[in-house]
Structure 1
Amino acid sequence: MVRTIAKDHDQKRDQILKSAAKVFADQGFDRASMSMLARECGISKANIYHYYDSKDALLFDILDTYLSELRDQICGIPLEGLAPEDKLRATISATLKAYQGADNEHRVQSTGIPALPEAQQEILRGYQRDMVGHMSGLIRAVAPEVFDSDKGKLYAATMSVFGMLNWFYMWNSKAGAKAREEYANLVTDLTLNGVRGL
């Protein structure tokens, strides 16, 4: 007889993903075990296997869910009719706000992706490339005369923006919406004034 899917399957899955992300972030992928993950999730080891057949599958689902949703948030905000400067400001603000509440998932990216098979790594890095490409296009539009002749400079500027945003997440992860908006404006102002002086 085929086992039916419980009505709260998706809710339990989301709770497992959040709890498991904390374990992977705190313990690292190699040290985490399915027993440890089940304990953090508040379910039995047998029950966690009902959702995931391995910790590798669980890690991939955490990162696939997080990065695809993050990509959609950052790349999907409406920018029609805005000036280049305002498009950049809106996207930097949306990025910092999207990080809120996802500290563990964000931390797991750096150590978790290399632990996965190459094909899965490529999927996850594809989401990252989409976000970097989107931000890069917005930065280029602010000063095309600076960047069209030097793609390396554009890449460096783009990654510097993400570096500033990641700094805030690492050191001010509990900051509220107002503090995030203020810092997003600071990063935008630094970027706008900086790229025009290159």
Structure 2
Amino acid sequence: MTVKSARDRIIDTALQLFEKYGYHGVGINKIIEESGTSKGGFYHNFKSKDELLFIIHDTFISYALNQVGKAVENNETPTEKLSQILKSSAENFTKYKPHQTVFYQDHTYLPEEYFEAISKKRDKVRDLINNVIQEGIDKGEFLPNLPVPIIGMTIFGMVNWTYKWYNPEGPFSNEEIVVIYADFTLNSLLTEEAKQKYQFSPYFEQVQAPQK
């Protein structure tokens, strides 16, 4: 069994406490106590509680940026890229659900320097998605005259807000939910000609509703 370092124990503990009580509901002493570390150990690894919050935020947004970047780089057509962007978000609902919760409920508490660093990565994710949508329009796969920023934010919000209601014990798995997202989005954006092209591809997958 791998023994976690003091730094990792502090991050994991802070993540759980911030998710449950909010950033301002948790003091450094509580993090130290719950993580089984010391004040010296805390300040050896982190300059402040603000830096700890930044690290949690950066872990999530860096993962999201990496996944979107790989989807764009490793796929050829806009349809394939957008489908993979949506499907790559499956881990967000499970492994990164606590990070998402803290990210969205506590991001306004980041000091300006940290807030700007996180905002730059968040904007890169948004821009990558918008670029894929614009590419789809330019190549005739997506409907013309789509309001790209609105469509991009709709997709961004649809995926990222799932943490609010997703239930791992519910009737649909995280993988099934993102298949539904991909199918819904592509059917909304693709031209009729493009739909025929992709009709029998794995980019259109149906998830059956659970039997009552």
TM-score range, shorter chain: 0.7 to 0.9
- 2:62 is the counterpart of 1:35: no
Give the structure 1 partner of residue 121 of structure 2: 127
Equivalent pairs: percent with the same residue? 25
| TM-score normalised by the chain length of structure 1 | 0.79
C-alpha distance in 2, partners of 1:21/1:125? Answer: 20
What is the CA-CA distance between 1:14 and the residue it aligns to? Answer: 2.7
For the 8 Å contact 2:129–2:152, the answer to whether it is kept is yes
For the 8 Å contact 1:143–1:195, the answer to whether it is kept is no
C-alpha distance in 2, partners of 1:135/1:99? Answer: 19
Deviation per CA, 1:136-173, whole angstroms, max 9, x where unpaired? 222233334678756xx211111211222234322225
C-alpha distance in 1, partners of 2:167/2:118? Answer: 23
CA 77–129 in structure 1, closer or farther in 2 if over 3 Å, else same: same
Unaligned runs of 5+ in 2: 192-212
For the 8 Å contact 2:7–2:42, the answer to whether it is kept is no
- 2:155 is the counterpart of 1:165: no
Mapping for residues 39-188 of structure 1, pairs under 5 Å: 39-77=33-71, 79-80=73-74, 82-144=76-138, 153-172=147-166, 174=168, 179-188=173-182
| TM-score normalised by the chain length of structure 2 | 0.74
C-alpha distance in 2, partners of 1:195/1:73? Answer: 22
Match 2:17 to one of 5, 23, 28? 23
- 2:6 is the counterpart of 1:12: yes
C-alpha distance in 2, partners of 1:114/1:139? Answer: 29
Give the structure 2 partner of residue 5 of structure 1: none
For the 8 Å contact 2:28–2:49, the answer to whether it is kept is yes
C-alpha distance in 2, partners of 1:79/1:47? Answer: 41
C-alpha distance in 2, partners of 1:81/1:68? Answer: 20
Deviant stretches of 4+, over 4 Å: 145-150
Unaligned runs of 5+ in 1: 1-7
Q: Partner letter of residue 43 of structure 2? A: Y
Q: Partner letter of residue 78 of structure 2? A: P
CA 81–63 in structure 1, closer or farther in 2 if over 3 Å, else same: closer
C-alpha distance in 1, partners of 2:73/2:173? Answer: 23
For the 8 Å contact 1:25–1:107, the answer to whether it is kept is yes
Aligned length: 186
